[in-house]
Structure 1
Amino acid sequence: MALSPGAVEFGRDAPSHATVAAAEASVDAMKYRVDAEKLTVSEAMMEALAEEEGVMLTVYRDVAGYPTVGVGHLVRPADNLKVGDTITYEQAIEFLENDIKHAEEAVKRLVGDLPLYQYEFDALVDLVYNVGEGNVSASESPKLNAAMKAGNYEAIASQLHYHTAAGSKANGLVYRSERRQAIFSEAAYGDPRPIEISVSGEVSA
């Protein structure tokens, strides 16, 4: 069962925690780079992530064959779930918020004292959420880590691509990578997928 990403509610009262974090830093993190420790993922990124992952209430196998549910939550033994099981909407949101928290902490470990704009932080959280912390380690992503150490933001952006799953190129990951790079470089959160309208008026991505 899938829910429309636009219907996702994240259970966060206004103002968002990203806004609060920026206020505590006494700066606008969309205009000035700040210590990543002061940032949490924005609501815009949460919505973009939900669009990319979808919201599935039945456990399925992702393109790499891993049991997955909710908003791209990788099923773990502790979840006590198997393919075909269903969860509640509330469980999906709980999984999402916990996974986001882990991704945020992983990004903070990754960047160290490198200051970031809110949207740069968001893009890196999406990367970790999508590929896992292990795949952005110094051994697995040496160019990304070298760019971090050098403070080379353009080089960081160039390393945010991730196109394969189970050894095969996946178009969905290509588009997601383009979106991630656009978020990091331009604060552009929109979906880059081309929209096609057939002669009968049907819309498709």
Structure 2
Amino acid sequence: MSKLARWMRGEMVRELVRRMRRKSKSLDNRRGKRKTALALSAGIMALSPGAVEYGRQAPTHTVAEAAIDAMKYRVDADQLSVSEAMKEALAEEEGVMLTVYRDVAGYPTVGVGHLVRPADNLKVGDTITYEQAIAFLEKDIRHAEEAVKRLVGDLPLYQYEFDALVDLVYNVGEGNVSEDKSPKLNVAIKAGDYQGIADELRYHTAAGSKANGLIYRSERRQAIFTDAAYGDPRPIEISVSGEVSA
């Protein structure tokens, strides 16, 4: 890939990430306002003159306990959804394409590695917006999340372990993590062998050929699973003239 192509790819990823962050911040603000409104409503009800009437006890309204920190404690996978850090890592790994193209296997693809479906009403050469790319990404992530929950069953996970498994399913598809296609992974999950799971997160081939990009992605996936390390492991080279390349 040329320096210009790398720069353009990086700019598109950064723009998508900026838009995702703005959207996430907006959603957080709305949730915060809703929680404040509910808390105020509960307080008003508790202080209402009619709260104590004919010897009745006022209804008790308590704020729900904070959720367990899944970065510190393993929890049921059903309680988890992909972190923002993992969404951004996915965008970095998959790249962002706003024009429908054919991937190495010949399938129409767009956005953040989204496989075009008939319902998308898109064909090769069509273009989409960043917002559509984000919508496709979020939809595909939800499918991958559900697939991981089916895969692990009642095995508790840290947030970053869940993230890494979602990346695996997003990358290779649910069919490729089945007992038939990934027997060692499934055995490790059933045994609760977390190191064994980490060892099975490698995926190096595309269309039958080994791809450096998938090797680095597998390293990143394993680092996320074992160490919550979301950074890109690709080597950065700096030339004598100060130019940076990866």
CA contact (8 A) 1:175 1:192 kept: yes
Identify the residue that residue 12 of structure 2 maps to in structure 1: 4
What SS does the corresponding residue of 1:14 show, helix, strand or coil?
helix
Task: Give how far 1:63 is off.
Answer: 2.6
Unaligned runs of 5+ in 1: 18-22
- Superposed CA offset, 1:71-93 (max 9, x none): 11011122122221111111111
Is the Cα–Cα contact under 8 Å of residues 6 and 47 in structure 1 kept in the other structure?
no
2:220 aligned counterpart, secondary structure: helix
Aligned position for 1:191: 232
Q: Deviations over 1:108-161 (max 9, x none)?
A: 000000000000000000000001001101111111011000000000000001
Task: Could you list the structure 1 runs, at least 4 aligned residues long, displaced by more than 4 angstroms after superposition.
Answer: none
State the match for 2:48 in structure 1. none
TM-score normalised per structure 2: 0.77
Aligned length: 199
Question: What SS is found at the alignment partner of 1:69?
Answer: strand
How many percent of aligned residue pairs carry the same amino acid?
Answer: 81
CA distance in 2, matches of 1:163, 1:24: 43
Q: Which residue is equivalent to 1:181?
A: 222
2:88 to 47, 63, 71: 47
Tell me, which stretches of 5 or more residues in structure 2 are unaligned?
A: 1-7, 32-63
TM-score, length-scaled by structure 1: 0.92
Alignment equivalent of 1:119, drawn from 126, 137, 160:
160
Whose radius of gyration is greater, 1 or 2?
A: 2
Structure with higher helix content: 2
Structure 1 residues 24 and 169, CA gap change in structure 2 (3 angstroms): farther
- Letter of the structure 2 residue corresponding to residue 69 of structure 1: V
CA distance in 1, matches of 2:239, 2:101: 31
Distance (Å, rounded) in 2 between the aligned partners of 1:121 and 1:157: 11
Residues 1:133 and 2:174 are matched in the alignment: yes
Alpha-carbon distance between aligned partners in 1 of 2:242 and 2:92, rounded to the nearest angstrom: 23
Q: CA deviation at 1:24?
A: 6.8
